Amino acid sequence: MKKSTISLAVAATVATSAAVHAGQYVNPSKTGQVLLFPFYNADNGNSTGIHITNTTASVKAVKVRFLEYKNSDAVLDFNLYMSPKDIFAFAVIPDANGDGAAIITGDASCTVPALGTSNGDFPGTATENADGTTTRTQPFSNYQFTGDADSSVERSLTGHVEVIEMGVVSDETYAAAATHDSTGVPADCAALDTAWASGTWSGNASFGVSAPTGGLSGVAYHINVESAASFGFEPTAIDGFSTSAQHTNPSSASPTISSGTSVATVQTAGGAWVDYTLGSGAEATSALLQTSSLSNDVLVLPIVGGMTDWVVTFPTKRAHVDVATAADVVPPFTDNWDGSSEESSACEPVSIGRWDRETSAADGVETSICNATSVVSMGAAGAGSALSASAGQTLLGYPYVEGWAKISFGSQSMTLGSGATRQGLPAIGFAAYKVVNGAMSYGQATEHKTSISSSGI
């Protein structure tokens, strides 16, 4: 079994004003050092396009990591070096030569290793196009969970994405290599490869890289061509994640969502901002994202072919539950991940309330959500999935044709310090709605509404 790497200790709290954030915080302006995309999907003919934008005038070193849906095990990661004002665009698609997912891109931004290269049993391809561009495809792998009872690469078909700024490339030579020229192509991506293979970075990864400054933003869109539906959504942006550079080898598992400062700047129900020093970076990030419930509309009206899926993602869950026993689980989560079992594990109890448009309420539902990324399909059995999803899918009966619902995390809590406790789980996601009009389909995605429930703050 894997052991926990985060501490259970929690330190004292320090209050602050909204003007200055001493710790990491969710940036309502949608830019930051960290971007958490709640969903990607490549099963059943789906694909997910993602854009990462560097809105600043600096060259950025960024870690991009794709995490499968069950336990957030990494299925692909690489270093991305972004020119000032650059966009890195790609899509997650089904692997044409395998059973999992793959990334495809025609973007010229520098990655190390270069996408479309060898990777053991999951080799990529690089195709030179007539216009001089290169289309690169890199399959996802199951290397991190080969010892699990379910070691199938199909686990990579659905999951979420974390993007972490490692720092600003301040060395003039390396910054110039990553910067796009007048033709829109970086000056010398090969120089960055060499820096890691046998150059300065191979012996000193921190050389010429200063602390991250934020300014990353993103957008994503989920597409199913056969069902003629598309859904756009945005990542959660975290700023103040780190005050020092964390530039690592492309093969390194760090930095992760656990690598941030242990100070969390959280917002109270009254709108004030308070700083808490927790036992680890993972706990601090979890505190930022903690919510006592998720709520959103539901539309399953048969006359318009209405379908509703809720994406529910716990982006920090692995750091809390990938431990030997349930006793080792770090709050607010309550159950540990056991990859050796075919049975679902790391399941969290939830309560679900359902209402129609005129306030009538159905009986509450007590159930569990087990995956790090889940698709909760609303409606009767056989009603269909708005996202055409199957991996990580759970069906939730909805007795009305339209209304709203709420998933409550009432059994989970985390101590922030000095008697302060926050209820709920660190969750992000959105609701996807699909309606059909003959041969045409329409899609809409809406971010979940969250709620703050705490005591002693």
Same domain for 440 and 295: yes
Instruction: Name the residue among 432, 436, 434, 431 with its Cα closest to residue 448.
Output: 431
DSSP line for 315-366: TTHHHHH-SSSGGGPPTT--S---TT-SS--S-EEEEEEEEETTS-BPPPEE
Q: If you average pLDDT over each of 213-217, 321-325, 383-387, which comes out highest?
A: 213-217
Run of H or E including 186 = none
Q: What pLDDT does 121 receive?
A: 83
Length of the chain: 457
**249 within domain boundaries:** no
Residue 423 C-alpha from the chain's centroid: 22
Out of 3-17, 55-69, 87-101, 360-374, which region has the weakest mean confidence (pLDDT)? Answer: 3-17
Asked if the structure places residue 255 within a domain, the reply is no
Query: Could you tell me if 113 and 211 lie in one domain?
Result: yes
| Total H helices, total E strands in the chain | 5, 33
Share of the chain above pLDDT 70, in %: 95
**Whole-Å CA distances, 108 to 111, 132, 185, 409:** 9, 11, 6, 43
pLDDT digits (tens, 9 = 90+) for 165-180: 999 999 999 999 999 9
Query: Looking at the structure, do residues 179 and 35 belong to the same domain, yes or no?
Result: yes
Gap between the Cα atoms of 74 and 156, Å rounded: 9
320 and 434: one domain?
Answer: yes
Answer yes or no: is 38 within a domain.
Answer: yes
Which H helix or E strand runs over 448?
Answer: none
Q: How many domains does the chain have?
A: 2
Residues 327 and 209 in one domain: no
Is pLDDT above 80 for 382?
no
User: Which residues, listed in sequence order, are joined to residue 258 by a DSSP beta bridge?
Assistant: none
Q: Cβ distance 48 to 221 under 8 Å?
A: yes
Could you read off the pLDDT of 117-137 as tens digits, one per residue? Answer: 887 789 999 999 999 899 999
Q: Please check whether residues 207 and 305 belong to one and the same domain.
A: no
- Residue 254 covered by a domain: no
Are 226 and 291 members of one domain?
A: no
Is the same domain home to 226 and 294? no
Average pLDDT across the chain, whole number: 92
Tens-digit pLDDT profile for residues 229-243 = 899 999 999 999 999
> Above 60 in pLDDT, residue 3?
no
Are residue 57 and residue 114 in the same domain, yes or no?
A: yes
> Which residues form the domain of 387?
283-455
Q: How confident is the model at residue 267 (pLDDT cuts 50, 70, 90)?
A: confident
Among the three residues 203, 218, 239, which one is the final residue of a domain in this structure? 239
Strands 87-94 and 402-408: what pairing? unpaired
- Same domain, residue pair 301 and 216: no
Q: Residue 305: exposed, middle, or buried by beta-carbon count in 10 A (0-12, 13-18, 19+)?
A: middle
Give the mean model confidence (pLDDT) for residues 191-208. 97
Res 381: pLDDT: 62
Report, as an integer, the average pLDDT of 256-271.
Answer: 92
pLDDT of 119 reads 78
> Given a cut of 50, is residue 5 above it in pLDDT?
no
Average pLDDT over residues 216-221: 99
Query: Looking at this protein, which amino acid is placed at residue 74?
Result: A
Question: 62: closest CA among 261, 201, 213, 240?
Answer: 213
Q: 114-118, 184-188, 191-195, 217-221: which has the minimum mean pLDDT? A: 114-118
pLDDT tens digits for 414-434? 999 878 899 999 999 999 999
Q: Is position 276 within any domain?
A: no
Residues 430-448, mean pLDDT to the nearest whole number: 92
Give the amino acid at 301: L
When pLDDT is averaged across residues 99-121 and rounded to a whole number, the result is 94
Around Cβ 361, how many Cβ atoms within 10 Å? 12
Residue 1 lies in a domain: no
What pLDDT was estimated at residue 13? Answer: 39
Domain boundary among 181, 212, 239: 239
Q: Return the closest-CA partner of residue 162 out of 24, 35, 318.
A: 35
341 and 229 share a domain? Answer: no
Write the burial class of residue 375 (CB in 10 Å: 0-12 exposed, 13-18 middle, 19+ buried): buried
Any domain includes 73: yes
d(CA 197, CA 208): 16
In a domain, 444, yes or no: yes
pLDDT over threshold 50, residue 10: no
What is the edge-to-edge ordering of all strands in the sheet holding 348-356? 365-369, 348-356, 402-408, 293-299, 449-450
The reported pLDDT for the residue numbered 280 is 96
Q: Are residues 200 and 342 in the same domain?
A: no
3 state DSSP class of 285: helix
Where a domain ends, among 184, 217, 239? 239
Closest CA to 256 of 136, 381, 374, 164: 164
